[in-house]
């Protein structure tokens, strides 16, 4: 799998999403283009997972966060370096640091 974090962008109005879409949610245009994000964003919300999925069982506890990317779309990711609610705040700057399977990994920046 290609390393990096990507979004889909509408060539007509500039709307972007970091999740799956077949058409622009703003103007309905199809044929969204895939663009690479720089990887920087801010924490929009988070939760600390003490009982993770099997794939991440050895890493618990860790934070799972919704990230507002600087390009204007949001995504979600796993933050293995954040182990308690005291280690993270809404608004913290984070950056994409890689992938494990389909999960995006973020670290505080
Ligand atoms: Zn559009």
Q: How confident is the model at residue 100 (pLDDT cuts 50, 70, 90)?
A: confident
Q: Which of 17-21, 51-55, 103-107 has the lowest mean pLDDT?
A: 51-55
Give the distance from CA 67 to its chain's centroid. 5
Q: Say which residues have a Cβ less than 8 Å from residue 78's Cβ, sequence separation at least 6.
A: 56, 62, 63, 64, 100, 103, 104, 105, 106
CA distance 92 to 89: 6
Q: How far is the CA of 9 from the centre of ligand 1 (A)?
A: 8
pLDDT attached to residue 2? 63
Q: How far is the CA of 19 from the centre of ligand 1 (A)?
A: 15
- Is residue 10 within 8 A of residue 32, CB to CB? The reply is yes
CA distance 99 to 109: 17
Q: How far is the CA of 23 from the centre of ligand 1 (A)?
A: 8
pLDDT at position 23 over 60:
yes
CATH, range 6-108: 2.40.50.840
Q: How far is the CA of 10 from the centre of ligand 1 (A)?
A: 5
Domain boundaries along the sequence of the chain: 6-108
C-alpha count within 13 angstroms, C-beta hemisphere, residue 32:
24
């Amino acid at each position: 799998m290609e390393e990096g974090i990507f979004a889909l962008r509408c060539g007509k109005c500039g709307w972007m999403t970091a999740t799956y879409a077949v058409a622009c949610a703003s103007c309905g245009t199809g044929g969204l283009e895939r663009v690479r994000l720089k990887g920087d964003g801010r924490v929009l919300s988070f939760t600390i997972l003490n009982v993770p999925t099997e794939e991440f069982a050895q890493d618990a506890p860790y934070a799972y966060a919704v990230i507002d990317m600087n390009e204007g779309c949001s995504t979600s990711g796993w933050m293995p370096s954040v182990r308690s609610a005291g280690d993270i705040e809404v608004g913290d700057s984070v950056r994409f640091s890689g992938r494990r399977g389909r999960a995006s990994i973020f670290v505080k920046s």
